[in-house]
C-alpha cells in the first residue's frame, strides 16, 4: 500500500511539477506574443447573399468582408493604430488595400508588389497607423477587377480629433453592379474583351450602399456630412444636389483650404471620394436628393425625405476641416521630371508594345486580352517607372493618348495637380483624365517603398494600365 502511495505521490508531484511548468510556460509565452494576437479583429473575406435587386428578385451572390454587403464601416480616430486579421475564405487568393492611407509599404496590400496574395484558408495581419483624418476605403487588391466587382470593399472613416459642426455623418458608397436582369446574379465575365478595350466594366444596376432606392429621413435645416466614395469598377459619377445647399470640404480624404459652395456637378472617377457638408433646404413633406446626372437626365442617387424641421435652421458657411499633418507643398523647381504616356485601347493608335519583355503587335496584344500601355510597355515591369530618393519632389506629366477617360491612382502618397502659372491644386490620390488631355501632378516622395500607380478603372488595370514607383 505504501509503495502505491509513494507512486501516487510521485505521479502527483510529477503531474504537479509538469503542470507547474506548463503554467509558467503559458504565462510566459502570451506576454511575448500578446502584442500580436489579442488586438486583431478578424475580418473574413467570404461569399454571401444580399437583396440588391427589388424584393421580387432573388438575392445576389456576392463576396464581402464577413460575407456582408455593404462591407463594414471602420471608424477610427486620427493617429490610431488599426489592426485587422484578414481571413481568406474565398475560392481564390486575395489581399487587402487601404486606399488613400499614407501607410507603411508592407501594409499596402498589393498582391505581387508589397505582399504575396493570401491563399484560400490563410490569413494576413494588417497593422498600421492612420495619420490622416478623412474618408478612405479599403478593397481587395488581387484580381481586383473581379473581387471589387463582387463586393469586396468597405469604408474607412478616420475622425478628426475635434468633431466638425454637423448634425449627422453619412457614408454613401456609390457603385454600379452588372447583373443579369432575370436572375439578379453578377455577370461572371470579369475579363470581357469589350470592357477591357473600351470604358471598363460598367454596371446596369446603380446603387448607394447596395440599395437602389437609398433613402434617409432628415429635417429641414439639418447639416449633414456626406462622405461619397466611388467604388465602381469604371463608372464616373456626375453628381448634383436638389433641395440641398452644400460645400465640398475635402477630396480623396484631404481637406480643401477653402471649401467651395457647390454650384456645378461634382465628378467622381473610380476610387475618388468627396466630403460634402450639405444643409437641407427643402420643405418638410418634400424630398431633397443627391442627383446622378447621366445622358442629360437626373436620377435619384439618394433621397432625403424631409420629415421635420430644426428650430435652429440658419447656419453659417462651414469652418474648414483641419489640414492633415506633414503635407508639404511640393517645390516645383528642383523636381524630378517623369513622363507618362497612356496608350492603347479601342480607337487608339497603339501599333505595338512590350508585353512581358517581348515586342508585340497590337493584334498580338488583343489576342492576349491586353490593350493598354504606359510608355510603350503593357503592365508591370521589373524596373519601376522611376526610383526616387526619399524627400525628393517628383513631377509626372501624363498624356492621355487614348479615346477613353482614366482614373490614375498613386498608392502611398497624395499629389497635387500642377495648374497653369505654376499654381497647384488640392491634394488628391486619384486623378481623373479625359481622352486627349495632358495633366501634370507633383508630390513629395516622402514614403519609402514600392508604390503602385495605375488606372482605377479595374478592367484597364488588368489589361495593361499598371506601373510602379520606388521611393528609397
Q: Which residues pair with 370 in a beta bridge?
A: none
Q: How far apart are CA 401 and CA 205, in angstroms?
A: 30
List, in order, residues 6 or more apart from 194 with CB less than 8 Å away.
none
DSSP state at residue 413: S
Answer yes or no whether residue 406 interacts with Cu ion by CB under 5 A.
yes
Closest approach of Cu ion to the CB of residue 342, in Å: 8
Contact 170, 227 (CB under 8 A): yes
Query: Which of 350, 455, 466, 469 is in the footprint of Cu ion by CB under 5 A?
Result: 455
Please identify which residue in the block is written with the cell numbers 470579369: 190
The Cβ of residue 102 has, within 10 Å, a number of other Cβ atoms equal to 23
Closest approach of ligand C2O to the CB of residue 288, in Å: 30
Q: How far apart are CA 212 and CA 224, in angstroms?
A: 21
Taking CB under 6 A as the binding criterion, the range among 80-88, 204-212, 353-361, 451-459 that sits at the site for ligand C2O is: 451-459
Which residue, 290 or 462, is less far from ligand C2O as judged by CB?
462
**CA 424 to chain CA mean position, Å:** 24
User: Residue 242's closest CA among 303, 184, 189?
Assistant: 303
Answer yes or no whether residue 143 interacts with ligand C2O by CB under 6 A.
no
271 is in the binding site of which of ligand C2O, Cu ion, none (Cβ under 5 to 8 A by kind)? ligand C2O
Answer yes or no whether residue 232 interacts with ligand C2O by CB under 6 A.
no
Q: How far apart are CA 398 and CA 431, in angstroms?
A: 10
Q: How far apart are CA 146 and CA 451, in angstroms?
A: 22
State the cell numbers at 152. Answer: 469586396
Taking CB under 5 A as the binding criterion, the range among 38-46, 149-157, 187-195, 449-457 that sits at the site for Cu ion is: 449-457
Answer yes or no whether residue 452 interacts with ligand C2O by CB under 6 A.
yes
The site map against Cu ion for 361-400 (x = CB under 5 A) is: ----------------------------------------
Q: Concatenate the DSSP letters of all residues of 303-346 into one string.
A: EEEEEEE-SS---PPPPPPPPPSS-PPPPSTTPEEEEEEEEEST
Answer yes or no whether residue 97 interacts with ligand C2O by CB under 6 A.
yes
- φ and ψ at residue 27, rounded to 5 degrees: -75, -15
Answer yes or no whether residue 409 interacts with ligand C2O by CB under 6 A.
yes
Query: Which of 102, 139, 201, 416 is in the footprint of ligand C2O by CB under 6 A?
Result: 139
460 is in the binding site of which of Cu ion, ligand C2O, none (Cβ under 5 to 8 A by kind)? Cu ion
Residues at the site binding Cu ion, with contacts judged by CB under 5 A: 406, 455, 457, 460
Interface residues toward ligand C2O, by CB under 6 A: 97, 99, 139, 141, 271, 409, 411, 452, 454, 456
Amino acid at each position: 500500500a505504501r509503495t502505491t502511495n509513494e507512486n501516487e505521490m510521485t505521479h502527483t508531484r510529477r503531474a504537479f511539477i509538469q503542470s507547474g511548468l506548463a503554467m509558467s510556460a503559458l504565462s510566459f509565452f502570451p506576454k511575448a506574443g500578446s502584442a500580436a494576437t489579442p488586438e486583431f479583429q478578424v475580418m473574413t473575406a467570404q461569399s454571401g447573399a444580399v437583396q440588391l435587386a427589388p424584393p421580387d428578385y432573388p438575392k445576389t451572390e456576392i463576396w464581402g468582408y464577413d460575407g456582408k454587403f455593404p462591407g463594414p464601416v471602420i471608424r477610427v480616430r486620427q493617429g490610431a493604430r488599426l489592426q485587422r486579421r484578414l481571413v481568406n475564405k474565398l475560392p481564390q487568393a486575395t489581399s487587402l488595400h487601404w486606399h488613400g492611407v499614407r501607410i507603411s509599404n508592407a501594409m499596402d496590400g498589393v498582391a505581387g508588389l508589397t505582399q504575396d496574395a493570401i491563399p484560400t484558408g490563410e490569413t494576413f495581419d494588417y497593422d498600421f497607423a492612420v495619420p490622416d483624418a478623412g474618408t478612405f476605403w479599403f478593397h481587395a487588391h488581387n484580381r481586383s477587377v473581379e473581387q471589387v466587382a463582387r463586393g469586396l470593399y468597405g469604408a474607412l472613416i478616420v475622425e478628426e480629433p475635434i468633431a466638425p459642426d454637423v448634425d449627422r455623418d453619412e457614408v454613401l458608397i456609390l457603385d454600379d453592379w452588372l447583373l443579369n436582369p432575370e436572375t439578379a446574379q453578377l455577370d461572371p465575365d470579369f475579363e470581357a474583351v469589350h470592357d477591357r478595350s473600351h470604358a471598363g466594366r460598367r454596371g446596369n444596376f446603380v446603387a448607394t450602399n447596395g440599395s437602389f432606392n437609398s433613402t434617409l429621413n432628415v429635417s429641414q435645416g439639418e447639416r449633414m456630412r456626406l462622405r461619397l466614395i466611388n467604388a465602381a469598377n469604371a463608372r464616373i459619377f456626375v453628381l448634383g444636389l436638389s433641395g440641398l445647399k452644400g460645400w465640398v470640404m475635402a477630396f480623396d480624404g484631404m481637406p480643401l483650404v477653402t471649401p467651395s459652395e457647390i454650384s456645378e456637378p461634382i465628378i467622381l472617377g473610380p476610387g475618388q471620394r468627396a466630403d460634402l457638408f450639405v444643409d437641407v433646404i427643402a420643405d418638410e413633406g418634400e424630398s431633397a436628393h443627391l442627383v446622378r446626372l447621366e445622358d442629360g437626365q437626373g436620377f435619384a442617387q439618394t433621397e432625403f425625405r424631409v420629415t421635420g424641421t430644426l428650430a435652429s435652421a440658419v447656419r453659417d458657411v462651414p469652418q474648414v476641416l483641419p489640414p492633415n499633418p506633414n503635407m508639404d507643398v511640393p517645390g516645383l523647381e528642383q523636381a524630378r521630371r517623369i513622363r507618362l504616356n497612356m496608350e492603347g485601347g479601342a480607337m487608339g493608335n497603339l501599333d505595338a508594345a512590350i508585353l512581358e519583355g517581348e515586342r508585340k503587335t497590337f493584334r498580338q496584344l488583343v489576342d492576349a486580352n491586353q490593350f493598354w500601355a504606359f510608355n510603350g510597355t503593357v503592365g508591370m515591369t521589373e524596373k519601376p517607372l522611376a526610383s526616387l530618393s526619399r524627400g525628393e519632389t517628383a513631377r509626372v506629366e501624363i498624356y492621355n493618348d487614348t479615346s477613353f477617360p482614366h482614373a490614375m491612382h498613386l498608392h502611398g502618397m497624395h499629389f497635387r495637380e500642377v495648374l497653369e502659372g505654376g499654381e497647384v491644386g488640392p491634394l488628391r490620390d486619384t486623378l481623373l483624365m479625359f481622352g486627349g488631355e495632358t495633366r501634370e501632378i507633383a508630390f513629395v516622395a516622402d514614403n519609402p517603398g514600392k508604390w503602385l500607380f495605375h488606372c482605377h478603372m479595374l478592367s484597364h488595370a488588368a489589361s495593361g494600365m499598371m506601373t510602379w514607383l520606388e521611393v528609397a
